[in-house]
Amino acid sequence: MKAEKIRNLTDTELRHQERDLADQLFKLKFQMNMGQTESLKKIRGLRRDIARVKTILREQELGARKTEKK
């Protein structure tokens, strides 16, 4: 998922997206531990997507704080 696409989402949508990605990551890790899959690329991609979502949430949070202080 591209950062530009993530930036267009609302705060609630971002939190929902983060939960969905975390669930997918959990399921993939579980499958990997059970020996059902070996999709390291998919796991890496999910981890990066989660990091992007969290980063943009934090940027929006800090941006909101700056406008409140001014």
**Domains of the chain: residue spans and CATH:** 3-69 (1.10.287.310)
Q: What is the pLDDT of residue 36?
A: 87
Q: What is the pLDDT of residue 70?
A: 62
Residue partners of 29: CB distance under 8 A and separation at least 6: 43
Q: What is the pLDDT of residue 1?
A: 72
- Provide block-wise average pLDDT over 10 residues at a time, the chain (70 residues): 86 95 95 87 95 94 78
Cα distance between residue 19 and residue 67, in whole Å: 28
Is the backbone of residue 34 left (phi > 0), alpha (psi -120 to 50) or beta? alpha
Share of the chain above pLDDT 90, in %: 64
Cα distance between residue 59 and residue 21, in whole Å: 19
The whole model's pTM is what?
0.84
